[in-house]
Structure formats: C-alpha cells, structure tokens
Amino acid sequence: MKLLFDQNLSYRLVHALHEIYPESQHVRDVGLGEAADEAVWHYAARQGVTLISKDADFHQRSFLFGHPPKVVWIRYGNCSTATIEQLLRLRHLDLIQFAANSEGAFLIIE
C-alpha cells in the first residue's frame, strides 16, 4: 500500500512507518511540498497512491470528484508525529481493507 503524506504531516512518518507502508512518500519528496491541493490531488491520482492528510479540503474533494485518489483524513486535532504514527499503526488493517475496497473514496481516522 502506497501512501502520500500531505504537507501538514511530518516527512518523518515515511521512515517511521516504512516496514508497514514501504512505498510511502511525503509531498516534499516528490517536489510538492509547497504545491496547491489540486496539484497534490492530481499527483496522487496519477500515481495510484492513497493520500493521508489532516486537511478537510481533501475530504471535500473526495465528495466532489470521487476517487482516485483515495483519501485518509486524520481528524485528530493538534497532536505529535508520534501520535499520528501510532494511529496509522493501530489502523493498519483498516487502511489495507480501505485500499482494497473498490468503492471507498475516503476513510476518516479519529
């Protein structure tokens, strides 16, 4: 499962979660660190990656445009990178099932 972490999440998550999400990237790694949401959206769709964000705008885009890309919206307020890492570890099976679901466009993690 390939994840693309949005700019509102730490680039450190790529390394921290490498063993369970080995092909993941951060937007800054692909030249989109300062890019508009639309550019990130199109990149994720073209690359077939699941977009991980704390930004409600991507959730709204998934309502408007469907998928690809699939979107995981982390609704967990102001928290540490370690907390986000723990959430993504705890919800690993949910993310795998979400990725395999051909109809699901977004997943909310709270």
Over residues 35-84, the pLDDT tens digits come to 999 999 999 999 999 999 998 888 888 888 878 999 999 998 889 999 99
Domain that residue 52 falls in: 3-109
Mean pLDDT score of the chain: 93
**Closest CA relative to residue 95, chosen from 76, 108, 79, 82:** 108
- What is the domain count for the chain? 1
Alpha-carbon gap, residue 85 to 82, rounded angstroms: 5
State the pLDDT at residue 56.
87
Stretch 84-95: mean pLDDT, rounded? 96
Among the residue ranges 3-7, 60-64, 87-91, the one predicted with the least confidence is 60-64
- Stated pTM of the model: 0.93
Parallel, antiparallel or unpaired: strands 71-74 and 50-53? parallel
| Residue 1, burial from CB neighbour count under 10 angstroms (0-12, 13-18, 19+) | middle
- Among 11, 5, 20, smallest CA distance to 92 is for 20
Residue 43, token pair as written in the block: 């990149």
- The DSSP annotation for 1-46 comes to --EEE-TTS-THHHHHTTTTSTT-EEGGGGT-TT--HHHHHHHHHH
User: What 3-state class would DSSP assign to 74?
Assistant: strand
